[in-house]
A and B are shown apart, each in its own frame.
Chain A
Amino acid sequence: MIHARGLARTFDTRRGRERVQVEAVKGVDLDVEAGEIVGFLGPNGAGKTTTLRMLTTLLTPTHGTATVAGHDLKSDPVGVRRSIGYVSQSGSTAMSGVKAGEEIVDHGAMYGLDRARVEARGRELFEQLDLDGLWQREPKTLSGGQRRRLDIAMGLVHDPGLVFLDEPTTGLDPQARANLWTHIAALRDRLGTTVFLTTHYLDEADALCDRVLVIDHGEIVASDTPDALKRQVAGDLIELVLGDPSHVSLAAQQLARITSDAATDVNGGVVSGRVASAGTELPGLLRSLDAAGVALASIEVRRPTLDDVFLTMTGRSLRDA
């Protein structure tokens, strides 16, 4: 569905008097097959949106080539536009002076579709996306979640085989996010639509995507299923929060006996390390800590997350990035 080679984009900006070239995207190769839900994961400023804007013809690549939905990005941008749906971060309808349904119909009409047909399709989408009864409403009177679903309906009204969603759940409350996830999954399951979405939420990529591409500093640093990526991170994380911070080195010693390559991390009164399987190692660890006279305030065990993957790949946590 998408095949990109060496896609790059440089922006000219000024730093004081000086003219600087910023490489927002340095050369991205990516392949997305029909029917996949692919997550594009990275911190703010990593180049996610820039890549997306190139693939949707909104931004001309400085270098590289891409075929999107069977059309060449450079020679046939109109062909690309005809075959894709794009739901941007900032929304896609006016807030006032329009009705939700009208925006859908006008948008569909810009694909050269017959108004009656678009309206029928739009009303169908409203039903599927739990927007029934909101056809006549002004978008500013809708909730955040409803508005996002309205944007998605707009991106789908011409039945594209490929949909780009830019940070679809940013700014939504947890319930609305979970609800949107089921709708996005249904796109593929019910309609066979290929979905390419960007996100900086790891749980979102984990819950929703068949495959995750990790982008950092304008380059793709990993591409695999969420599970395979998590397997690359060795084991579970054990965090010991000490009752008495002076016991740090004692605790680290005990923990180092069971961690992979005997590594531990000390951060204030917290000692942490990765073990192959926390479940089998924990009882022994607790006994040996007890014997060494180390008092624990609490103990935390975390299964590897995509955040850990990101940390392993880039040396930074996604949250700090």
Chain B
Amino acid sequence: MNAIAATGIVYRRQLRQNLRNPVWIIIGLAQPILYLVLFGPLLKPLAAHLGTTNAYTFFVPGLLLQLGLFGALFAGFGLVSEWREGVVEAERVTPAPRTTLLLGRVLRDVSLVGVQSVILIALAFAFGLRGSIGGMLLGVVITMLLGGACSAASYALALSTKSEDALAPILNSIALPVMLLSGIMLPISTATGAPQWLVVVSNVIPTKYIVNGLRTSFTGDVFTGPTMWAVFWAVVFVIAGLWIGTRTFRRDA
């Protein structure tokens, strides 16, 4: 069984299931949209303080990170229930390479994150986002990469624990601090008055560089250092996520 064909079958099946029940896609979007609508306007008067002319080029990248991180990290929950239904075992006894069971699902999540990102950016335009369209597209791609990495890692964790009760605390204890330390709401920088220790702690969180890169990219500085760092870290995450995921899916489950 050819790997690309098998990945395609898994992808199609997963996507069809999502499209039939799009409520989860909408719920995934609800959180960032609420932030955009209810919190975004508060940042408008602070634009100068944030070091930007358009507060949304600062704020929307943070929401994209939230989308890529949160949405995809919780993909593992779906896999646990698929395991319980016997779907995963039924797929594992077919001659399709086991890696394709992961890849089809990850690609589905990447697609969903892509669509959600575009919707979010389009909505942000209505609220006053202005900036470089090309840079925003790059931002969507980086978000998709991050989403792919997170969903692969989440599936690996789901397949090794096979329990929502184990998954929920692990994912929550990772996702929330990572998001806060990435500075998605406000910049974590001594220039804007953040305490030194917080800056030091946040500097070791790679997703901070992804958010910073997205911000420069949104304003049009696509080929600058921060943006390249964002691309670099997104690629590193994808490689790491797929490596862990592949290893787990090839093992006995």
Residues of A near any B CB (own CB < 8 A): 56-60, 78, 81-82, 84, 86, 88-98, 102, 106-107, 109-112, 151, 154
**Is there an interface contact between B90 and A92, defined as CB atoms closer than 8 Å?**
yes
- From residue A146, how far is it (CB to closest CB) to chain B in Å? 15
| Cβ 8 A contact of B94, one of A60, A107, A151 | A107
Say yes or no: is B84 at the interface (Cβ < 8 Å to chain A).
Answer: yes
- From residue B158, how far is it (CB to closest CB) to chain A in Å? 16
**Is there an interface contact between A93 and B93, defined as CB atoms closer than 8 Å?**
no
| Cβ 8 A contact of A81, one of B2, B21, B84, B95 | B95
**Is there an interface contact between A81 and B85, defined as CB atoms closer than 8 Å?**
no
Say yes or no: is B133 at the interface (Cβ < 8 Å to chain A).
Answer: no
Given that A58-B93, A78-B95 are known contacts, is A112 also in contact with B85, CB under 8 Å in the complex? no
Say yes or no: is B96 at the interface (Cβ < 8 Å to chain A).
Answer: yes
State which size class the interface on B falls in. 20 to 34
- A78: which B residues are within 8 A, CB to CB? 1, 95
Q: How far is the CA of A56 from the CA of B95 in the complex (A)?
A: 11
**Is there an interface contact between B17 and A94, defined as CB atoms closer than 8 Å?**
yes
Q: What are 16 A-B interface contacts by the 8 Å CB criterion?
A: A58-B92, A81-B95, A88-B90, A92-B85, A92-B86, A93-B85, A94-B82, A98-B17, A98-B20, A107-B90, A110-B9, A110-B96, A111-B94, A112-B2, A112-B5, A151-B86
**Is there an interface contact between B9 and A109, defined as CB atoms closer than 8 Å?**
yes
- From residue B28, how far is it (CB to closest CB) to chain A in Å? 16
- A58: which B residues are within 8 A, CB to CB? 89, 92-93, 252-253
- B2: which A residues are within 8 A, CB to CB? 112
**Is there an interface contact between A102 and B16, defined as CB atoms closer than 8 Å?**
yes
1/0 per residue B232-253: CB within 8 Å of A? 0000000000000000000011
**Is there an interface contact between B95 and A91, defined as CB atoms closer than 8 Å?**
no
- From residue A47, how far is it (CB to closest CB) to chain B in Å? 16
Q: How far is the CA of A164 from the CA of B89 in the complex (A)?
A: 13
**Is there an interface contact between A91 and B86, defined as CB atoms closer than 8 Å?**
yes
Given that A60-B252, A86-B90, A95-B85 are known contacts, is A111 also in contact with B1, CB under 8 Å in the complex? yes
- When A and B form their complex, which 8 residue pairs have the shortest distance between CB atoms, in order from nearest? A92-B90, A97-B17, A90-B86, A110-B94, A91-B86, A86-B93, A110-B96, A92-B86
Q: How far is the CA of A98 from the CA of B92 in the complex (A)?
A: 19
| Cβ 8 A contact of A96, one of B5, B21, B91 | B21
- From residue B184, how far is it (CB to closest CB) to chain A in Å? 32
Chain B CB within 10 Å, residue with most, of A82, A111, A112: A112
**Is there an interface contact between B92 and A93, defined as CB atoms closer than 8 Å?**
no
**Is there an interface contact between A110 and B252, defined as CB atoms closer than 8 Å?**
no
Q: How far is the CA of A106 from the CA of B104 in the complex (A)?
A: 13
- B85: which A residues are within 8 A, CB to CB? 90-95
- From residue B195, how far is it (CB to closest CB) to chain A in Å? 41
Say yes or no: is B6 at the interface (Cβ < 8 Å to chain A).
Answer: yes
Given that A94-B82, A112-B2 are known contacts, is A81 also in contact with B94, CB under 8 Å in the complex? yes
Say yes or no: is B87 at the interface (Cβ < 8 Å to chain A).
Answer: yes
Say yes or no: is B49 at the interface (Cβ < 8 Å to chain A).
Answer: no
Given that A81-B95, A106-B13, A112-B95 are known contacts, is A90 also in contact with B5, CB under 8 Å in the complex? no
- From residue A155, how far is it (CB to closest CB) to chain B in Å? 8
- From residue A40, how far is it (CB to closest CB) to chain B in Å? 17
- From residue B10, how far is it (CB to closest CB) to chain A in Å? 8
| Cβ 8 A contact of B87, one of A60, A94, A112 | A94
- From residue A92, how far is it (CB to closest CB) to chain B in Å? 4
Given that A81-B94, A82-B95, A94-B82 are known contacts, is A110 also in contact with B6, CB under 8 Å in the complex? yes
- B82: which A residues are within 8 A, CB to CB? 94
Q: How far is the CA of A263 from the CA of B87 in the complex (A)?
A: 52
Q: A93-B85, A111-B96 are in contact. List 4 more A-B contacts (CB 8 A).
A: A98-B13, A107-B90, A112-B1, A154-B90
**Is there an interface contact between A92 and B16, defined as CB atoms closer than 8 Å?**
no
- From residue B5, how far is it (CB to closest CB) to chain A in Å? 7
With both beta carbons as reference points, the residue of chain A lying nearest to B90 in the complex is identified as: A92
**Is there an interface contact between A92 and B87, defined as CB atoms closer than 8 Å?**
yes
With both beta carbons as reference points, the residue of chain B lying nearest to A84 in the complex is identified as: B93
